[in-house]
Amino acid sequence: MQKSIKLRSAKKFSTGPRLLALSAALFLAGCGSLAPVPFKAEDIQERAAQDRVQMYADQEPIAAPLTFHEAAARALKYNLDYRLKLMESALSRSLHDVSSHEMLPRLVAGAGYVYRNNDSGGSSIGIIDREESLRPSTSQERERTLANLNFSWNALDFGVSYYRAQQKADQVLMAEERRRKVVQNVLQDVRNSYWRALGAQKLIGRVDSLLARVNTALANAKEVEAKGLMPRAQVLSYQRALLDAVSLLTLRRQDLELARAELKALMSVAPGTTITLADEKEFALPAVPGNIEALERMAMEKRPEIMEEWYRKRVTENDIKAAKAMLWPNISIDLGPQYDSNRFNYNSSWVDAGVRVSWNILRLAQLPALKRAHEHQNKTDDMRRMALSMAVLTQVRVGVQRYGLSLAELKFAEESLRVDQSLFDYAKAASQSRFDSELEVIRSEARALLAEYQRYAAYSNAQAAWGRVYNSVGLDVLPETIDGHDVKTLAAALENTMSQWQGQVFTTVAAKK
């Protein structure tokens, strides 16, 4: 009878491990059978439709012609690249908050249930005579519940978490510098595209009308050539001039259309939406700055790329500091109440406290290598910043030179427009019913229209060059918060800030020439 009970107990004991092994095998087999599952075509179409809606969601409607500052405000408020940088900045702040909490001590609450299928216990034997001194006994129940609340603090964990939190704080500042750079780039692109798009709005109707007249004149010229009403060389010469005009006008028309498309993309305007630009007076362009050294000092102090590299140096330094902190002794403190429902315990609840000191002495061998790495890292970071600073200074000087050249180009384009417009007026006044006079009027009008386009392009290039001077110096032209402003308010703040910079900074710099 006793033997059969032991057999049943042994059989019962062996069933548990078998079930556990079978469950583990089934779980591992299930994990190994996972196969790549691509998205379905319906899912892709739904995602694309939702993305298209989200790209243009929550935008103020365009109810009136847009001024330059309103177009810039809309671009900065709704541009997807800028919104991405805002999200990255918010993410950096959240990660910094998370890392700050990692410096806190640990306070872990635990509870559990423990069961075993037989009794825990034992007997004792004498050390000298090796005789059993106690019969087998137990002081632990088969079923019991446990609870604890443990407070622990680790010096090394605190030190490493402290340096990691500093790194996250610097990464927040780096994300802010990247946001500033995107703002400056978007404003630079808007400055270039807006004035080209405004020129397109003014000229594209006239270009289309003239193209129709040129095509009609080409057809008439072919008819004159076929009938022999004029010398063949003269007719072919006129056709050549008209074809050249068609080619140039077609290319310029493409440029004008692309300018409007670029501006709409910068403002994140939905495709198919018609926008009208305000027929505002062109902004007066300031004189070329003369004190380049003052601009270079401003660029060294304000350029986002230089500031980002400077913060990156602190991040890498904290990496080395965290590695050095791991070399020193570690102190850990543990304290917490404990509970065990075991009825054989004399005290079912008690408080554990302990202090431990540990030191991996062999890690000290890393100290010389870490010092060398720290020194080399600092030199590398400084050299990277110096190389970037040299590029920035070059951009400032090249930007000022380009601005001066663009002003000269604008002056030349205005003079060319004056001459071509006078020739066109003269051709109209002197035109008669003769075919060659009509061709001359068309050719003069095409030349005048191209000159007017060149003048708009030159003004746009001058504005873009002036924007590059802004960009090369690293000036901020926005309030700190953008989402909290509507387009009108943001445009007014943008205009005020730009006027202050231009009036106070660049005028002073130019006066030192």
For each of the domains in the chain, give its residue range(s) and CATH number, in order of start: 82-111+141-328+335-340+348-476 (1.20.1600.10)
- Torsion angle defined by CA atoms of residues 281, 289, 512 and 393, in that order, rounded to the nearest 10 degrees: 150
* Amino acid (one-letter) located at 144: R
Nearest Cα neighbor of 296 from 395, 185, 188, 184 is 395
Residue 499 in tokens? 């006027």
pLDDT of amino acid 390 = 92
Contact yes or no for 451/420 (Cβ under 8 A) = yes
Beta pairing partners, 132: 125
Residue 115 in tokens? 């069961």
pLDDT of amino acid 215 = 79
* Amino acid (one-letter) located at 395: Q
pLDDT of amino acid 273 = 80
Instruction: Using 70 as the pLDDT threshold, list the residues of the chain that sit under it.
Output: 1-34, 229-230, 232, 235, 431-437, 478-485, 502-513
Distance CA(394)–CA(292), nearest Å, equals: 11
**pTM as predicted:** 0.75
Tokens 């243009």 correspond to 56
Nearest Cα neighbor of 11 from 116, 138, 117, 114 is 117
Furthest CA-CA distance within the chain? 142
Tens of pLDDT, residue by residue over 11-69, are 444 455 566 666 666 666 556 556 788 888 888 888 888 877 777 777 788 888 888 88
Contact yes or no for 125/132 (Cβ under 8 A) = yes
pLDDT of amino acid 268 = 84
